[in-house]
Structure 1
Amino acid sequence: MGSTARKLSSLHNLHLSHKEADVRVERQFRFEFAKPKARRRLPAGVAPQTPTSFLSRDIPAISPDIGFDPGDDIVQQVVPRDSGRHLSHRDESVAGGDDRVHRRPVTRDALRAREDKVLRNRSSAERHGEVAYRFSDALDDLKNVMRRLPRFEDYRSLSEQLLAVEQANESLQAMVECLAPLETKVVALRAQNQLLVQLLGIRGPVGSAPDPGTA
Structure 2
Amino acid sequence: MQTRILVVDDDPHIRELLRFYLQRERFVVIEAEDGNQASALLEQEQVHLAIVDVMMPGKNGWELCEEIRKYFDIPVILLTARGEMEDKAKGFLSGTDDYVVKPFEPEELLFRVRALLRRYQMVSDNIIHIKNTVIDRNNYEIKVGETRYELPLKEFQLLAQLASQPNRTYTREQLLNLVWGNDFEGDSRTIDVHIKRLRERFRNLTDDFKIVTIRGLGYKLEVEKE
Identify the structure with the greater strand proportion: 2
TM-score w.r.t. length of structure 1: 0.24
Identify the structure with the greater helix proportion: 1
TM-score w.r.t. length of structure 2: 0.23
Which of structures 1 and 2 has the larger relative contact order (alpha carbons within 8 angstroms, sep 6+)? 1
